[in-house]
């Protein structure tokens, strides 16, 4: 967690530094053509950079469940726990997910499937019956103002929600198989994770 925040802060510093450097160069070039970069331009660039950084979705946990599929133990169900890096509105209804195993590339959409955990366990929740390999859902774990259910918003750093994915036919993971998952929010930074199915004697596993 500390490493992730440190990395994000480093990205922020480098991004803002690049913007300021670019603004300085622009000012020099414009000066030669009797044009000056205005303070408003720089403020807008800086504001855009901060928005990009602060809408970053952080990954807090990654789990999967082995099930017997055609006689072979495979991971078909994946649950990824996410939260906002800082308290700022992130519209999860506009999140798009891309998955790839090196052979198949698919785009998944949510279609408004958001439910509370209630008394279910993650992998026995009734939400899985609504997932068909072409969509994904959300299971709300922590949402004090009910912004997830009511407005489809992550709006506080304490909000925690599992993205749940039933892998499409042909993409279920055998031991040591890998899959890349890209999260594309409507605004802000995309997040990419690589999951590898570990050797395990347990049904429910945590991806490293």
97 pLDDT exceeds 80? yes
Number of Cβ within 10 Å of residue 117's Cβ equals: 16
Work out the burial of residue 76: count CB atoms within 10 Å of its CB; fewer than 13 is exposed, 13-18 middle, 19 or more buried: buried
CA torsion 20→23→24→27, rounded to 10°?
Answer: -160
Residue whose structure tokens are 């409507």? 186
Q: What is the pLDDT of residue 32?
A: 45
- pLDDT (average), residues 70-92: 87
User: What pLDDT does 172 receive?
Assistant: 96
Residue 11 vs residue 25, higher pLDDT? 11
Q: Hey, which residues does 166 pair with through a beta bridge?
A: 77
Tokens of 191: 């997040």
pLDDT over 70 at 175, yes or no: yes
pLDDT tens profile 100-152: 999 999 999 988 899 999 877 899 999 999 999 999 999 999 888 888 888 88
Q: What is the pLDDT of residue 159?
A: 86
Euclidean distance between CA atoms 33 and 10, whole angstroms: 35
pLDDT at 40: 60
Pairing, β 191-196 against β 96-100:
unpaired
Q: Rounded to an integer, what is the distance from CA 204 to the centroid of its chain?
A: 21
pLDDT attached to residue 10? 41
For the chain, give the mean pLDDT.
Answer: 78
Task: State how far the Cα of 41 lies from the Cα of 45, in Å rounded to an integer.
Answer: 6
pLDDT band, very low/low/confident/very high, at 194 (cuts 50, 70, 90)? very high
Q: Which distant-in-sequence residues (6+ apart) come within 8 Å of 119 by Cβ?
A: none
User: Under DSSP, is residue 117 helix (H, G, I), strand (E, B) or coil?
Assistant: coil
- Looking up tokens 């622009």, which residue turns up? 26
Residues of the chain above pLDDT 90, percent = 43
């Amino acid at each position: 967690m500390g490493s992730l925040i440190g990395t994000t802060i480093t990205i922020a510093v480098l991004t803002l530094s690049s913007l300021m450097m670019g603004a300085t160069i622009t000012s020099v070039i414009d000066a030669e053509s009797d044009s000056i970069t205005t303070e408003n331009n720089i403020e807008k660039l800086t504001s855009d950079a901060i928005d990009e950084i602060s809408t970053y979705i952080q990954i807090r946990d990654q789990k999967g469940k082995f099930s017997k599929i055609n006689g072979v133990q495979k991971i078909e169900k994946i649950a990824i726990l996410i939260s906002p890096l800082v308290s700022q509105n992130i519209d999860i209804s506009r999140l798009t997910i891309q998955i790839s195993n090196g052979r198949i590339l698919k785009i998944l959409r949510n279609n408004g499937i958001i439910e509370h955990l209630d008394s279910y366990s993650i992998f026995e929740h009734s939400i899985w019956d609504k997932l068909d390999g072409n969509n994904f859902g959300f299971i709300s774990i922590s949402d004090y103002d009910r912004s997830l259910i009511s407005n489809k918003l992550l709006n506080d750093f304490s909000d925690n929600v599992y993205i749940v994915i039933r892998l499409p036919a042909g993409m279920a993971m055998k031991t040591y198989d890998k899959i890349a998952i890209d999260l594309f929010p409507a605004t802000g930074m995309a997040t990419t994770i690589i999951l590898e199915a570990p050797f395990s004697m347990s049904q429910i596993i945590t991806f490293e």
